[in-house]
Amino acid sequence: MDIHHLLARIGLTDSEGSLYLALLRLHRSTIAELSRDTGIYRPTIYRTLPHLIARHLVSKIRVGRRTMYMAENPDTLQALVDGTRSELDAALPDLHRAYEGSQKRPLIRFIEGKDGIRHIYDDMVRASKKGDSTYRYESPRDYHLLKRYYPESYWKRAAGPEGEIEKYVITNEDTHSRRNKRLNRHSKAIPASYDAFDYNITQLIYKDKVAFIDFDTETATVIENKRFAEFQLKIFKMLYEKL
């Protein structure tokens, strides 16, 4: 076992560890003797010993007219570890709050190309368990062209009467009227009287992610954030219910 490495893990610097181990071996020593034994320069020893004394690992004693130092029982190291653990336990609530705060910040990725778009659909089906639901707005000019962006995993798990994943879709009237009823999806249409809804853009909502796909430029933006996804899902469900 590397004792120096172990002492470093519980918070001792290299100089502190070397001096403490030397004092364990020497029992008691002057600064001059410590310097000769360890090779550490006296100014460094003068700066380091007070830290060891403050941690109750070393004691300063008088022997005659000389000032000497001696190591305390190694059990003191356990108290040092326990103290650090107690401090960590006290700090954990603040650390968790900082972590949770960082998780509230959306993680945003920009993706380009056909393969990148296929990866988004693949991520959607792989992130979904059997019986899960996915939600999407789609506004294709030609819905047949969208098929070239679907990876094999999508056809296996999300399409057909045996599909494991339910799909809720809001689309335009043309796509809605032409949809294959075997594709295991629930579809509603934006009335053509309101808008043609043919922007060639799709928005996917699944798990903690929202993806916006622009098929004209073959680019996509993926936002990963639970609150953001829940917000978008509430809007989707409200609109779906009203259509």
Average pLDDT on 64-79 reads 88
Q: Where along the chain do the CATH 1.10.10.10 domains lie?
A: 3-77
Q: Which of 135, 100, 113, 115 is nearest to 209 (CA)?
A: 135
Confidence category of residue 118, pLDDT binned at 50, 70, 90? very high
Task: Give the model confidence (pLDDT) of 140-149 as tens digits.
Answer: 999 888 889 9
Q: Which of 40, 49, 46 is nearest to 20 (CA)?
A: 49
Greater confidence, 148 or 82? 148
**Rounded CA separation 61/217 (Å):** 78
Write out the two tokens for 90: 């006290």
Average pLDDT on 225-240 reads 94
Task: Give the model confidence (pLDDT) of 60-69 as tens digits.
Answer: 988 888 999 9
Q: How far is CA 212 from the centre of its chain?
A: 22
Asked if CATH classification 3.40.640.10 holds for the domain at 3-77, the reply, yes or no, is no
pLDDT at 230 over 60: yes
pLDDT at 76: 85
CA 32-20-59 angle, 5° bins: 75
Using H for helix, E for strand and C for coil, what is the string for 61-83?
EEECCEEEEEECCCHHHHHHHHH
What does pLDDT average to over the chain?
88
Average pLDDT on 84-93 reads 81
Of 22-36, 54-68, 167-181, 218-232, the range with the lowest mean pLDDT is 167-181
Q: Is 57 left (phi over 0), alpha (psi -120 to 50) or beta?
A: alpha
Looking at the DSSP bridge assignments, the partners of residue 133 are: 166
> pTM score, two decimals?
0.59
Q: Where along the chain do the CATH 3.30.870.10 domains lie?
A: 107-242
Asked if residues 70 and 58 have their Cβ atoms less than 8 Å apart, the reply is yes
CATH label, 107-242, candidates 3.30.565.10, 3.40.50.300, 3.40.1710.10, 3.30.870.10 = 3.30.870.10
